[in-house]
């Protein structure tokens, strides 16, 4: 998710020189351009960039390294970071954006988070999925929300609100519903869409 220094360098180099290449560079070509001697090493970095959604996955095709077109007309939704049950949102340093179909957007302001962990697996939300969140401070019972618990943890759960009690339901047989008093839980957004890459 978060790029290492070298990965950032390599991405910058690609973004910088994208125009100058006749064809998308191969690993070997890029190696030479960067002064590396091992394809395997570079491959590791490129893999990381693919993971981050910055480079097109080259699925054993011999077609070179291509950047994913970073929204020319800027309809992208900001990718704010990673959400893991039980930990604050881990922000992504640079302002990364992601192209998202309009049908997945809500009416209000939206952003994207990458899911980490299996706490919603029974709802079909897997580790590594991207979720589209509409920024809101209230939700209807049964909606899946991004909730800030006690000003510390942020988590993605199905919400059930009663007078005097809020229950957050994980969707994982191994986990128990969690009960809080309403003032411990602040809703930050509700789930509007989901994207997954295979």
Residue ranges that bind its own copies, judged by CB under 8 A: 2, 4-5, 8-9, 23-24, 53, 56, 58-59, 61-64, 66, 68-69, 98-104, 106-107, 121, 124-126, 129, 143-144, 190-198
Q: Is residue 157 among the annotated active site residues?
A: yes
- Among 61-69, 77-85, 98-106, 144-152, which window interacts with DNA (CB under 7 A)? 61-69
In this structure, are strands 153-162 and 165-169 parallel, antiparallel, or unpaired?
antiparallel
| 135 phi/psi in degrees, rounded to 5 | -70, 120
186 binds DNA (CB under 7 A): no
197 binds DNA (CB under 7 A): no
CB of residue 162 vs its own copies: minimum separation in angstroms? Answer: 21
One of 16, 19, 22, 37 touching DNA (CB under 7 A): 37
Cβ-contact 139, 190 below 8 angstroms: yes
Closest CA to 195 of 145, 130, 146, 144: 130
- DSSP state letter for 35: T
Cβ-contact 76, 86 below 8 angstroms: no
Q: Is residue 116 among the annotated active site residues?
A: no
- Given the complex with its own copies, which of 91 and 173 has the nearer CB atom? 173
Q: What is the chain's alpha carbon radius of gyration, rounded to the nearest angstrom?
A: 20
Catalog residues that contact DNA under the rule CB under 7 A: 4-7, 26-28, 36-47, 57-65, 107
């Amino acid at each position: 998710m978060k790029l290492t220094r070298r990965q950032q360098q390599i991405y910058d180099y690609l973004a910088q020189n994208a125009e100058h290449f006749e064809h998308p560079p191969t690993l070997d070509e890029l190696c030479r351009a960067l002064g590396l001697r091992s394809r395997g090493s570079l491959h590791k970095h490129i893999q990381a960039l693919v993971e981050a959604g910055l480079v097109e996955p080259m699925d054993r095709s011999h077609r070179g390294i291509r950047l994913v077109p970073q929204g020319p007309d800027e309809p992208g939704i900001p990718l704010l970071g990673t959400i893991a049950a039980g930990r604050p949102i881990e922000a992504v340093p640079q302002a990364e954006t992601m192209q998202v179909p309009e049908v997945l957007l809500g009416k209000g302001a939206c952003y994207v988070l990458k899911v980490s962990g299996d706490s919603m697996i029974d709802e079909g939300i897997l580790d590594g999925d991207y979720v589209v969140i509409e920024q809101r401070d209230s939700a209807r019972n049964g909606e899946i929300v991004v909730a800030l618990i006690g000003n510390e943890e942020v988590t993605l759960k199905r919400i059930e609100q009663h007078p005097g009690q809020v229950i957050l339901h994980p969707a994982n047989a191994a986990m128990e519903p969690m009960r809080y008093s309403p003032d411990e839980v602040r809703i930050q957004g509700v789930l509007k869409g989901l994207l997954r890459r295979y």
